Every structure is written in structure tokens, then in C-alpha cells.
Amino acid sequence: MAKTISKKTLKAKGVLALLLVILLGGLTAGYMLTGRGAAAEATPEAVTEAPTEEPTEPPAETTTAAPAETTTEAPTEPASSRGLGLVQRAQDGETLTVTPTGDNWAVTYIGLQYRLPEDYVPELAAAVEGSAEQLDARVAPSYAEMYAAAKADGCTLTPYAGYCSMQRQSENFENRVQVHLAQGMTEEEAEKAAAERVQPAGASEHNAGLCMDIGSASADFVSTKEFTWLTEHAWEYGFILRYPEDKTDVTGMLYEPWHWRYVGKEAASDMHESGQCLEEYLGLV
């Protein structure tokens, strides 16, 4: 019996062992399957994530780029069409020679790349009777008219600096460059800094006699009643604030509340209405 029992026990043990092996084997297989399953699941996830990220990026870029282009183009379009034919655009590094003649003489664009001929001298006239300051003879009557209207409103538009000769302009520019050189700037830096305030000869509207520095060439002018009067009425006489505070990046010039440029009544009226500066009006930007 004992033998039989032991044989039976052995058999039973063998069956148990077999069952264990099967069980363990099953578990291992199950574990492996789960492992494989997890790995198999992870791969498709990684694959599906990647393509969803990639296509979302380019459309996002195109959608932001498209409206930005249309918004920047929209306001410049009417300006360019209005300015078409009024001015020739200078290419990078190019300097054009401009002369205030012809039908559009009053909106002649004068600047670093748009210079008057070296020997340019306009026909001159006193800005107002008795003043030593002169303007282009075609502009002086409008200034005198504006001066009289302001006077009637209790404002004195003292002509501080009108026409400036080429000779004096180059001296002014050179003096400014010297000041910046003394501050430790290089020659290139000094000329760039000087050009923000004083243009080289031929690049200033003062050389054409088309503008007037009124009152005093000082920032304090902004707080005078004369300045307030000019911002309200100058356009009626064909004058504009040439270098406004909010357009310094367009004009390339610092804010000059005293510098008023004659552009003619039509252009001044248009610019007063649209809020454009001369560069914008002529479609140069």
C-alpha cells in the first residue's frame, strides 16, 4: 500500500509538477504577451502622435502669415496709388537728384537718398514782411497768410529758420558730426547720429526753402499755443508737421514739433484726413 500510495503520490506529484509547469508556462506566455501587447500598443501611439503634430504646424504658420501680409499691404496700397507719379523711388544705396519743379513741386521728397542738386537755389522771398527768414517764393505767400490767421487768433508763428544755403547746411552737418566724434563715436557712427538731426547738404528741406522752423527749434515748442494752433490749422494753408512723434521709424528723423513743411493745400488736406506722413502719402514705405 505504502508502495502503491507512494507510487500514486509520485504520480500525483508528477501531475502537480506538470500542472505547475503548464501554469507557469501559461503565466510566462501571458506576461510575455502582455509585454509584447504593451510594446505593440506603444509603437502605434508614438507613430500616430508624430503625424498629428507635424501637419498642425505648417497650417498654423500659413494662417498667421496670410493675414499679416494682407493687413500690412492694405494701408500702403492707397498711399502708393496716390503717390504714383509724384516721386521716383530710390533703390538701396542709390541717391537720386530731385528738383522742386513741375506740377508736383510742392510734394517734392527731399532726404538722404533724394538730394537737391549741389547748386540748387530757389527763388526766395521773405517769409513774412520784415523777417530775415526766407522761403521759396511760391511758399512765402502761404506762410504769410497762415501767419496773419494765427495772429488774429492770438498766436505768433515767429519764423525761426526757413531757407538754408548749401554752404551753411554742410557747415551745420559737419559741426554736428564733430560733436558726436568728441563723444567718442566712430566717423560712421557720428555721421549717422548727426543725420538724425541735421541732414547733409542737399538732403534738407531747408535747402529748398519748402519748410519753416517755427518759434524756436526747441522741444518746448510742443507746449505752446502756437503749436496747438498749427496742429489744428496748418493744413488749411498747405503746411504739415513733417516729422511727427509717432512716425519716427518711417521718417528716420527725431520728432521735430517746430518743423513745418509746405506740401500744398490738396496734399496737406489729404494727409490731415488720413493721418499719413509724407513718406506714407507718397507711397515710399
Return the H-helix or E-strand segment holding 114.
Answer: strand 114-115
The smaller minimum CB distance to Zn ion, of residues 180 and 261, is found at 261
Interface mask toward Zn ion for 212-241; x: CB under 5 A: -x----------------------------
The smaller minimum CB distance to Zn ion, of residues 133 and 213, is found at 213
Give the contacts of 108 (CB within 8 A, at least 6 positions apart): 87, 98, 99, 100, 208, 210
Q: Shortest approach of Zn ion to residue 171 CB, angstroms?
A: 16
Q: Shortest approach of Zn ion to residue 160 CB, angstroms?
A: 9
Residue 270 and residue 263 in contact, taking contact as beta carbons nearer than 8 Å = no
Active-site residue (options: 133, 256, 279, 280): 256
Q: Look at residues 224, 219, 282 and name the one whose alpha carbon lies nearest to residue 254.
A: 219
The smaller minimum CB distance to Zn ion, of residues 213 and 279, is found at 213
Footprint of Zn ion on residues 198-217 (CB under 5 A)? 213
Q: Look at residues 249, 278, 248 and name the one whose alpha carbon lies nearest to residue 263.
A: 278
Q: Shortest approach of Zn ion to residue 74 CB, angstroms?
A: 32
Binding-site residue total for Zn ion (CB under 5 A)? 2
Q: Shortest approach of Zn ion to residue 209 CB, angstroms?
A: 12
Q: Rule CB under 5 A: is residue 136 a binding residue for Zn ion? A: no
Q: Rule CB under 5 A: is residue 261 a binding residue for Zn ion? A: no
The smaller minimum CB distance to Zn ion, of residues 213 and 280, is found at 213
Q: Shortest approach of Zn ion to residue 253 CB, angstroms?
A: 10
In the complex, which residue's CB is closest to Zn ion?
259
Cell numbers found for residue 130: 520784415
CA dist list (Å): 262 to 70, 235, 268 = 33, 9, 8
CA 43 to chain centre: 50
The whole-angstrom separation of Cα 96 and Cα 281 is 19
Residue where the block lists cell 488749411:
236
Coil, strand or helix: which one is 153?
A: coil
Q: Rule CB under 5 A: is residue 259 a binding residue for Zn ion? A: yes
The smaller minimum CB distance to Zn ion, of residues 171 and 189, is found at 171
Q: Is 49 a known active-site residue? A: no
Kindly list the catalytic residues.
Answer: 256
Where along the sequence are the contacts to Zn ion (CB under 5 A)?
Answer: 213, 259
